[in-house]
Amino acid sequence: MRLLREGPQGLQEGEPFDLVVVGAGGAGMACALFAALDGAKVLLVERTGLVGGTTAWSAGTTWVPGTHHAAGVNPEDSLDEARRYLDNAVGGHAPAALREAFLRHGAAAVQAAESASDLQFRPYPRHPDYLSELGGSTLAGRALEPLPFDGRQLGALFALVRPPIPEFTVLGGMMVDRTDINHLLGMRRSFASLRHALGLLTRHAIDRLSHPRGTRLVMGNALVGRLLLSLSKRATVTLALATEVEAIERVEGDENGRVGRVLLSGGGAQCSVQATRGVVLASGGFNRDPARRARLAPGIDIGWCPGAPGGTGQAHTLAEALGARYREGAMSHAFFAPVSIRRRPDGSTGVFPHFVMDRAKPGVITVDARGRRFLNESTSYHLFGLAMQAAHRQAPSVPAYLVCDAEALRKYGLGMVRPGGRGLQAYLNDGYLVAGSTLAELAGRLGIDAAGLQASVEQMNSHAATGHDPDFHRGETAYQRNLGDAAWAGPNPNLGPLRTPPFYAVRLYPGDIGAATGFATDEHARALDGQGRPIPGLYAAGNDMQSVMGGVYPAPGITLGPGLVFGWLAARHAMGQAVGFP
């Protein structure tokens, strides 16, 4: 791989490439890799100095039904069942033809990556679809995770992988996933957990002798590291960092109006290159474009977005000038999660998405400014974020308040406060965490209604005793119970009392974690114009492409899975090896 760190210096004016891919996030890197595996000369353009985009900050879960991995954990699953589930969950919010392309070719895309590159997955033993109450849903087999990756294999390229957010690491840069966390918490109770934990700690101590952070990569960093290593082994790949795309133009004199010229700038240099087979947009979506946010996510402060900084929407403006158009009909223009926000000691701002660890656990509730519960805390993070926005139209619910007692904080943590509560005082001092010796004192410090909070807690305590939440039905589906505490002694793993003072809270905001609305495409990922016609030579993948889920979030990894599959479909079509569709 040829690496250009400071703009397009090193490229020749008019240099030809088979494919130019705009954006080195998960979808863009995958598309570039697939094209290179087919022998293409590829230019991968990234406007920041790091690769990975928001994928590097994610859990790395990749939802692709029907792969060869599924049989090991769920041999009863089938594409027909996955199709039934998506029909039930997504319905008319996205074209059925795109879902069919995703389902029909997902297994082939995963197989193509694993057979010819360092990208390797394994199935989660249990990872339910989020709308597990719907027909066709499963408890396991569709959600894949990248295998942990030794970043030392990258050598000097390791520094190019976007580091995870600090709050997702421990001990100054050691990455841990859910399996690791369980072992670290259980190391005093289990020899197997102690052995696992000691291995992690020893490895990290050795890493820190020569690296600024741990080199054992998991989750999204493992996915990105594996993609980067795979690309680095392909001599036909050029990676241009810190490079802006100034223009995307049609080929002069081409009777079909094919897109094929890209103007680049960066590091004080400017040049144009030819894309003889096409240009793929994978720049990360609209989320950091102020004008598009105002239109598509009104009222959602950009400071609540936990996404990576690269997706400014600049490439979208260029594509629109070529006739590309956003598709309409999505349930939501963006995907959401509840986030909490902290001013870090170094002056930077941390935006922490509450995906798994706290909000669905016993002894934790969410209330609005009136102190009242207004949603099911165990629902998916996307539905949680949408529920916050809907409730706020009726009563002040942004911010909302995630409240727990001392026992729940000790067992599960709360946002950036990790289980066990170490370093608690720092979070209290800067106001991220608010505490009160009584519920009334906590309410006063939060500025919310004390009587309402007291009543909500008493009601939750009653629900915990019966195991039934008649108000919001918390803990009634397989997905929700999976987020609870399997070791909880009560009748419902998601419901527990708040009794042990002091009481704690963090403020929650609906943060957009990715774009659902993007460019309309066909089954080959070709961008479509206003009349539904393919624009020759222009493709879209990842969050630049309209989500095949139509703004619904039916399962873990429903951005990365389609990003991988449609990256493969785009590369195949551009290289003249398009797969067939019925």
Q: In the listed set 452, 484, 512, which residue is the last one of a domain according to the structure?
A: 512
| Same domain membership, residue 129 and residue 226 | yes
What string of DSSP letters covers 230-296?
HHHT-TTEEEE-S-EEEEEEEPTT-TT--EEEEEEEETTEEEEEEEEEEEEE-S--STT-HHHHHHH
At 478, which CATH number?
Answer: 3.90.700.10
Q: In the listed set 183, 212, 241, which residue is the last one of a domain according to the structure?
A: 212
| Same domain membership, residue 81 and residue 30 | yes
| Same domain membership, residue 438 and residue 551 | no
Query: What's the number of domains the chain is made of?
Result: 3
pTM of the predicted model as reported, rounded to 2 decimal places: 0.95
What are the DSSP E strand ranges found in 427-532? Answer: 434-436, 503-515, 526-528
What pLDDT, on the 0 to 100 scale, is given for residue 174? 79
| Same domain membership, residue 345 and residue 448 | yes
What pLDDT, on the 0 to 100 scale, is given for residue 581? 58
| Same domain membership, residue 231 and residue 197 | no
Q: What is the three-state SS of 261-280? A: EEEEEECCEEEEEEEEEEEE
What pLDDT, on the 0 to 100 scale, is given for residue 251? 92
| Same domain membership, residue 160 and residue 276 | yes
Asked if 574 and 536 count as a contact pair (C-beta separation under 8 A), the reply is no
Q: Could you tell me the residue range of the domain that residue 199 belongs to?
A: 174-212
| Same domain membership, residue 205 and residue 326 | no
Asked if 46 and 310 count as a contact pair (C-beta separation under 8 A), the reply is yes
Asked if 415 and 352 count as a contact pair (C-beta separation under 8 A), the reply is yes
> Which alpha helices (H) appear in 323-423, and where do they start and end?
381-392, 406-412
| Same domain membership, residue 121 and residue 233 | yes
Q: In the listed set 465, 496, 512, which residue is the last one of a domain according to the structure?
A: 512
| Same domain membership, residue 64 and residue 162 | yes
Residue 351: its H or E element? strand 349-353
Rounded CA separation 144/65 (Å): 9
| Same domain membership, residue 424 and residue 339 | yes
Question: pLDDT (tens digit, 0 to 9) for every residue of the chain, 582 residues total?
Answer: 999 999 999 999 999 999 999 999 999 999 999 999 999 999 999 999 999 999 999 999 999 999 999 999 999 999 999 999 999 999 999 999 999 999 999 999 999 999 999 999 999 889 999 999 999 999 999 999 999 999 999 999 999 999 998 888 777 777 777 777 777 777 777 778 778 778 777 887 877 878 888 898 999 999 999 999 999 999 999 999 999 999 999 998 888 899 999 999 999 999 999 999 999 999 999 999 999 999 999 999 999 999 998 888 899 999 999 999 999 999 999 999 999 999 998 899 999 999 988 999 999 999 999 999 999 999 999 999 999 999 999 999 999 999 999 999 999 999 999 998 888 999 999 999 999 999 999 999 999 999 999 999 999 999 999 999 999 999 999 999 999 999 999 999 999 999 999 999 999 999 999 999 999 999 999 999 999 999 999 999 999 999 999 999 999 999 999 999 999 999 999 999 877 654
- Tokens, residue 83: 């199709």
| Same domain membership, residue 269 and residue 143 | yes
| Same domain membership, residue 462 and residue 547 | no
